[in-house]
Structure 1
């Protein structure tokens, strides 16, 4: 038996299929990945993401401390704002990609990937500046993602705060929803508008049930990690362990926008500067021309059938109805077609924009 979030009983009640994910017993699907994917694209999807790691970083030098650990430049971050930031080793490989929420420069919330939580904690702890305190608060909070084009209307109907004017990658603290105080942010990992709700885990079942009841007229559905993966993939968003890893740096993953090489010093900067001058690999999107699905790890070959890379993620897109994927290949590769090894077959594919959705 793995670890369980505060909503495990609800997942069982709603007939979720449970799988192991990062040591947690998590719902992979309820009615089905396709239905849950469509609900999020067209109405609202409700996701339990309480397994995500959550750290408090407090102290006068808290912001300076984390700014040295991430590739993005947090100096411009203001209170009530969040920022996406890869975190690297000295050689440029990725420790994790995280979110930094600023309550104040001396009070930050860090949200990290569940599978990396313990590793991230030790990494950050080993680089703490004097007077900066790090606390793991993962097990204290319930974290929900309410995603989809109708999510704003639903959340607005449940609170008297004007969340409709909340900007992307900003948050409000102490919002009261059904008498429960919470932090509500507007980031998202699906390619759709929506919110993240952070609140005391004792109110988890109450809020989960309320959202499903009040959201029924909006078409809300509980969604598992399966749909969460297909949704983020269609939107071209990376998943640690696929598009990012200890051996895949943010530049080759196509995340150069979040690597501020002209800003302040950070761990891995010198290696990433060298890499930018002489890049070796790049992440590309592709569409299969032949029938099949290119799964994670499938070999990528050039037209001469020489191995040049590997698939990082591949699915039949529920929204587009096409078999598409992401692959890491040599930076110098300049052709618009590749081959993908799927079982015994070598399938033709064409390289396309890796942001598969136009929205």
Structure 2
């Protein structure tokens, strides 16, 4: 019997030790800097939002959140890094809709599993999408549609992520426009394309274009949801100006996720820090000025939101008839 007992102790020892480390790390977390992977280029709206949240969360948690930009492959490069990290709360991902929904919906092979590799923590932000043209472009949605119908194949549109590309494809389909897609790596390149004439219109997050719109170098024709846009209060929804209900509630969004298996007490502590940042009026005002709404929710609510978005965009991808390369 003593031999069996010793054998059981030997077999169970690693599991008992692991539980002890997990519990201890949850109690003392964080006791070292936290790495927040942003899978997009520095300076863009996602990066700016991540830095605002990281700064506030650092104060709340008592440890610095260090931003590391890992752009590429529609955010997959950064996502893989976090998916393979230790589930100890010290490596997090500032994920977007493209990371958790669009990549799984469009790529035949993906080097991470959005459902099984991550523990969702909380949404952080919603970014209003707008239909934009250069300042010398059409003055209304109707003018853009009329020109596009009269000149098939003569208009170029650009997008930096799959979400805005599909929204553009939906717009073209509903408007009866035959236009040429120009791929970009992000919103900064989309903006440059509008300025140098490479593209004539785009659907993109308002945050990247607000300064150019304000300075009269771009024109926003409509927004793609009914949410109040403090930075452009007179801008009407595309659904209202062009009767396109399918484009009535489209936003890009971001949130923070951790590797799967991260202990629940650590996830809860992170969620509370995110909620505190989202409720800080300085952050709210800074983001709202650019059309971004700071927000937060529980891991369970975040999971339900992602599930709903997945169902919506999977249907859009199927209906679009588009094929996507890996």
TM-score, L = length of structure 1? 0.27
- Which structure features the higher share of helix residues? 2
TM-score, L = length of structure 2? 0.29
Structure of greater relative contact order (alpha carbons < 8 Å, 6+ residues apart): 2
- Which structure features the higher share of strand residues? 1
